[in-house]
Amino acid sequence: MVSFRYIAMQILKKFAVVLVILIITYIIAYPLYKQLLIAQAWHMAALRAQAIAQIRSLTAAQMNKLVLNYFCLIMKVYHYCTPRCGCYEPPWVNYITLLGYYLYSFLTFHFPPCSADYSNLGFVGTNTASIIAQAIPRTVLLIVSATIVALILSLIVGPYIANKRGSLSDNAITIFGIATYSFPTFYIGMIMIYIFAITLKIFPPGGMMSTPPPPTLWGKIVDVLYHLALPMITLAFLHFGGLALVIRALMLNVLREDYILMARAKGVPERLVVYKHALRAATPSIVVLAAINIAEAFGGAIITEIVFNWPGMGLLYWQAIQALDISMILALTYVTILIYAVALLIADILSIVLDPRQRRG
């Protein structure tokens, strides 16, 4: 069994990585983040002052003073010192104190409100965390389904071509894998849309659901899967070749082991040698590969979601960049890093569980 100490150490390592990357993003985005919080403080102060002004009449001078007072109260929450509130500190003090608030707000998912409208993607409101929480399942559905399909095909083809090293099938799959890995995602996506959506009219060209959506729950599920098929096939097509080549390389190392030669000498059928004994030994590395592939796909699915108008994290990221929504960009970057770290953590634990040789007491 995997020890609690090992799991705790892996969690601490991944948390340290996330923390370091958060600090790096803060250093890069500090000027924009500072302006974002100041603008947000003025906006919140104005809203609170207007709420009071609706209850009792205020002069313009009283209104301005009330807005400034609320602004100063909000800036104290951010631990930011500004001369407008009678506070004078060196710039580096604000830099450090604001870093503390930045880390706290992101680690607790209290992101600043977004400044753009994402209603065209089906997201309502300005709560950044809520919008991302709605987008994540859509991206997970696309990426995990595509990775499963690509991995199943790779587990069939990869060991086969490893056992047929130098054959025509091995060379063909190798060329195919290199070619698909080199093709731009948007190019393959447009070809898929032209063939299957425009010419053959088998799948819709984009979107997540028909308009209007089906009235029943089962109809909605079928409709989502129908819209999912084309982007999922595209991603699986792009990932299949690379996964097959990596599994081939892993299997080549395993097939040279002494126990594989012993199994062949005992007359074990070649199919069992390859797909049972050798593939089982390579499983821990394949699990790590699949986890990394899923994690990387969260960053690389932006183009796929744009091409197919799939309303997930990738398309949300793209619209946030176009709208210069700093809050959403920083939040999505953090969530992507967190997903990557969690995927690697799961991969490390599963590799220990699946490979007794790596276990620690």
Is residue 199 helix, strand or coil? helix
Residues 102 and 35 grouped into a single domain? yes
**Residue 12 located in a structural domain:** no
**Residue 190 located in a structural domain:** yes
Percent of the chain with pLDDT strictly greater than 90: 24
In whole angstroms, what is the distance from residue 87 CA to residue 73 CA?
12
Residues 160 and 207 grouped into a single domain? yes
User: What is the span of the domain harbouring residue 84?
Assistant: 31-108
Overall pTM > 0.75:
yes
Q: Yes or no: say if 294 and 143 are a contact pair by the CB < 8 Å rule.
A: yes
Residue 245 has pLDDT above 70, yes or no: yes
Residues 212 and 93 grouped into a single domain? no
Report which listed range, 18-27, 156-165, 245-254, 272-281, is most confident: 18-27
Tens of pLDDT, residues 64-84: 888 898 899 888 888 888 888
The DSSP code for 278 is I
Q: How confident is the model at residue 299 (pLDDT cuts 50, 70, 90)?
A: low
Residues 150 and 67 grouped into a single domain? no
Residues 197 and 313 grouped into a single domain? yes
> At CB < 8 A and 24+ separation, what contacts does 284-288 make?
284/350, 284/351, 284/354, 284/355, 284/358, 285/250, 285/351, 286/151, 286/155, 286/247, 286/250, 287/347, 287/350, 287/351, 287/354, 288/347, 288/348, 288/350, 288/351
**Residue 120 located in a structural domain:** no
Q: How far is CA 105 from CA 59, 78, 111, 197, in A?
A: 36, 10, 6, 44
Residues 93 and 134 grouped into a single domain? no
Instruction: Count structural domains, the chain.
Output: 2
Pick the more confident residue, 285 or 189: 189
> Pick from 73, 108, 143: which residue ends a domain?
108
What's residue 119's pLDDT? 87
Residues 200 and 306 grouped into a single domain? yes
Residues 103 and 145 grouped into a single domain? no
What's residue 256's pLDDT? 81
**Residue 25 located in a structural domain:** no
Between helix 217-254 and helix 168-182 the angle, nearest 10°, is 120
Tens of pLDDT, residues 317-340: 999 999 989 999 999 999 988 888
Structure tokens at 80: 């930011």
What's residue 182's pLDDT? 79
**Residue 211 located in a structural domain:** yes
Residue 361 has pLDDT above 60, yes or no: no
Q: How confident is the model at residue 230 (pLDDT cuts 50, 70, 90)?
A: very high
> Pick from 108, 138, 154: which residue ends a domain?
108
Angle at 243 between CA 237 and CA 246, to 5 degrees: 150
Pick the more confident residue, 67 or 298: 67
The DSSP code for 358 is G
What's residue 225's pLDDT? 92
Residues 83 and 153 grouped into a single domain? no
Mean pLDDT score of the chain, rounded to an integer? 86
Residues 6+ apart with CB under 8 A from 297: 143, 146, 147, 235, 239
Q: How confident is the model at residue 22 (pLDDT cuts 50, 70, 90)?
A: very high
Half-sphere exposure of 180 (CA within 13 A, CB side): 20
* Domain at 264, CATH number: 1.10.3720.10
**Residue 37 located in a structural domain:** yes
**Residue 121 located in a structural domain:** no
**Residue 279 located in a structural domain:** yes
Residues 144 and 89 grouped into a single domain? no
Residues 98 and 164 grouped into a single domain? no
What's residue 99's pLDDT? 92
Residues 239 and 153 grouped into a single domain? yes
> Pick from 52, 73, 108: which residue ends a domain?
108
Residue 61 has pLDDT above 50, yes or no: yes
